[in-house]
């Protein structure tokens, strides 16, 4: 049931962006390397503090391991490393956002490690700007749009696409380019 609901909302959101409808979505934003990123709040299952994860053998470096989330095995992904940012040391105040993402193989629960959780914004479809074309080299499918909140740029992520990508993108380059093009 829940899966369907999320499916529906994802579809709904997708059309909203295109049509610049009056309806608005809520986004949870988080900070990484002084950049603010947003994910659809409907994907967010919970926010928890960092706890040590069981490492997986031969896994890529951004996969920190798996944790036990009330009986479910949940992989933890360091979004910093996955965006090519420098790794930072984890402390108990390091935040893990547990997300429910839709992939081709059904819904998956994943945790992403971020620097800090920031705000919840309500963003209307018309406020959202499409991600600029950064050329063929950079895939921007996982960017849902850009939005300015209080003169800050928030990058809204299409988390379903991002976390189901085989090769995670180097976002440091992208954010630099985005910042340059925005200002």
Q: Which residues pair with 124 in a beta bridge?
A: 24
Q: Which stretch binds another protein (CB under 8 A): 14-22, 64-72, 144-152, 170-178?
A: 64-72
* Shortest separation between residue 81's beta carbon and another protein, angstroms: 16
Please tell me what DSSP assigns to residue 54.
Answer: B
Lay out the site mask for another protein across 84-113 (x = CB under 8 A, - = otherwise): ------------------------xxx---
Is 18 a binding residue for another protein by CB under 8 A? The answer is: no
Residue 10's nearest CA partner among 45, 43, 44 is: 43
Is 65 a binding residue for another protein by CB under 8 A? The answer is: yes
Across the chain, where does the E strand assignment appear?
Answer: 24-32, 35-40, 44-49, 63-69, 72-78, 95-103, 106-114, 116-124, 143-149, 152-157
Number of residues that bind another protein (CB under 8 A): 21
C-alpha–C-alpha distance, residues 76 and 61, integer Å? 11
Quick one: tokens of 50? 């960092």
C-alpha–C-alpha distance, residues 2 and 161, integer Å? 19
* Shortest separation between residue 115's beta carbon and another protein, angstroms: 23
Q: Of residues 58, 86, 93, 133, which one binds another protein by CB under 8 A?
A: 58
Q: Which stretch binds another protein (CB under 8 A): 24-32, 38-46, 57-65, 79-87?
A: 57-65
110 vs 143, which CB is nearer to another protein? Answer: 110
Chain residues binding another protein by CB under 8 A are: 52-59, 63, 65-68, 71-75, 108-110
């Amino acid at each position: 049931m829940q899966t369907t609901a999320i499916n529906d909302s994802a579809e709904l959101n997708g059309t909203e962006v295109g049509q610049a409808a009056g309806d608005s979505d809520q986004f949870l934003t988080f900070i990484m390397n002084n950049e603010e990123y947003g994910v659809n709040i409907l994907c967010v299952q919970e926010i928890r503090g960092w706890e040590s994860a069981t490492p997986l053998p031969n896994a890529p470096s951004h996969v920190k391991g798996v944790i036990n989330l009330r009986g479910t095995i949940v992989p933890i992904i360091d979004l910093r490393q996955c965006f090519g940012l420098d790794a930072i040391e984890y402390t108990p105040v390091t935040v893990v956002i547990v997300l429910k993402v839709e992939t081709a193989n059904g819904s998956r629960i994943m945790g992403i490690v971020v620097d800090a959780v920031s705000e919840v914004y309500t963003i209307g479809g018309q406020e959202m700007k499409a991600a600029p074309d950064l050329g063929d080299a950079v895939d921007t499918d996982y960017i849902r749009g850009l939005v300015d909140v209080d003169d800050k740029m928030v990058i809204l992520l299409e988390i379903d696409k991002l976390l189901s990508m085989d090769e995670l993108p180097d976002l440091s380059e992208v954010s630099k380019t985005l910042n340059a093009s925005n200002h």
